[in-house]
Amino acid sequence: MIYWRDFLIPYEQTVEELKIKIKSLRDEFRKRSEYSPIEFVTGREAVPSIIEKARNLGYSEDEIAMRMEDVAGIRIMCQFEDDIYKVIELIKERDGIDLEIQYEKNYIENKKDSGYRSYHMIIKYPVITVEGLSVVLAEIQIRTLAMNFWATIEHSLNYKYKSNIPEIIAEKLKKSAEAAYQLDQEMLSIRDEVVDAQELFTIKSNMVSKIITYINMLENVGENETAFYYRKRFEDVENIVDEKNEGLKEQTLKNIVEELRVLVDEQM
Ligand code: 0O2
Ligand code: 0O2
């Protein structure tokens, strides 16, 4: 008899910790105003399927822990196929530090018969609970948004048809998997354009958030007139809508950030 609630605790914690670690990498890229190869991260809700698989195979707790790699899992979604390999490198840099890579499955180069594409990394992850240290197996799935779109839909159909998808639907799914793959290839050809645009957007949004923070800091120390002056200047810049003046707008925002940084430093 397996006490699932207790058994799953280290796995659930592993998912939470891995999600935080990967999201932190993404947030760090954004704070540095750099393009992030990580778009978003989700935890996999595989509990019902794990319980069913373990029951079908008649596994004991020890056997599940040793043989089932996907009790704990996260998914990392990337915008472009190239990003997947950057994420793999980021994970490999952690190998032997806070996780241990066991093996990898490249379902991008070797797509599954269903049409499924993703990159899987099976890791060992040390997790500390009130019971002490456990080392658990976890699966990290890395895929593009297009691969995720396809896998999500195929997964629902698989669930509906209990893995016996009618041939006609299976064929359509295979075709749409190829269409998703072509979409990824097309997107790769405009990757640099998209990355530039997103970096510009991140730089601007970081400047805006710095300006707001600095103005609030000045207000908190009673420098209301100065704060008002910069609030007004910031509003005037934001009201520039002419595309030809984008360069001027960016430079003015940079100047405001720099001036405010000096003023705030003087106050602290
Ligand atoms: P942020 O910082 O905006 O990414 P959770 O416990 O909520 O972190 P869970 O339950 O495993 O994770 O997955 P959930 O809630 O479905 O999604 C996790 C994060 O991925 C959420 O953001 C979602 O907004 C984001 N997300 C889900 N689907 C998409 C999508 O199709 N596109 C994009 N861009 N993001 C998506 P966070 O972590 O709350 O905040
Ligand atoms: P869920 O609900 O997403 O967790 P096995 O784990 O033994 O069934 P295998 O081939 O040893 O299969 O492991 P693999 O290939 O690493 O697959 C495990 C997970 O990858 C699956 O978990 C899915 O999340 C995903 N996956 C693999 N193949 C497909 C596919 O054809 N379509 C979709 N949509 N996802 C796939 P679960 O537990 O099956 O599902």
| Structural domain contains residue 108 | yes
Please choose from 25, 30, 40, 78 the residue to mutate so as to test ligand 1's pocket, defined by most ligand atoms within 8 A of CB. Answer: 40
* 163 and 97 within one domain: yes
Distance 86 CA to ligand 2 centre (A): 23
* 43 and 165 within one domain: yes
| Structural domain contains residue 216 | yes
* Domain end (from 169, 185, 215): 169
pLDDT category at 60 given cuts 50, 70, 90 is confident
Report d(CA 37, CA 29) in Å as an integer: 9
- Residue 100 has a pLDDT of 98
Domain span at residue 76?
Answer: 4-169
| Domain count across the chain | 2
* 22 and 144 within one domain: yes
pLDDT category at 129 given cuts 50, 70, 90 is very high
| Structural domain contains residue 160 | yes
Averaged pLDDT for residues 116-120: 98
CATH of the domain at 157: 3.30.460.10
- Residue 126 has a pLDDT of 97
In our burial notation (b when 16+ CB lie closer than 10 A, e otherwise), range 25-55 reads bbeebbeeeebbbbeebeebebeeebbeebe
| Structural domain contains residue 178 | no
* 29 and 153 within one domain: yes
Report d(CA 163, CA 167) in Å as an integer: 11
Averaged pLDDT for residues 127-137: 94
Give the closest ligand to the alpha carbon of residue 174. Answer: 2
pLDDT at 52 over 90: no
* 258 and 148 within one domain: no
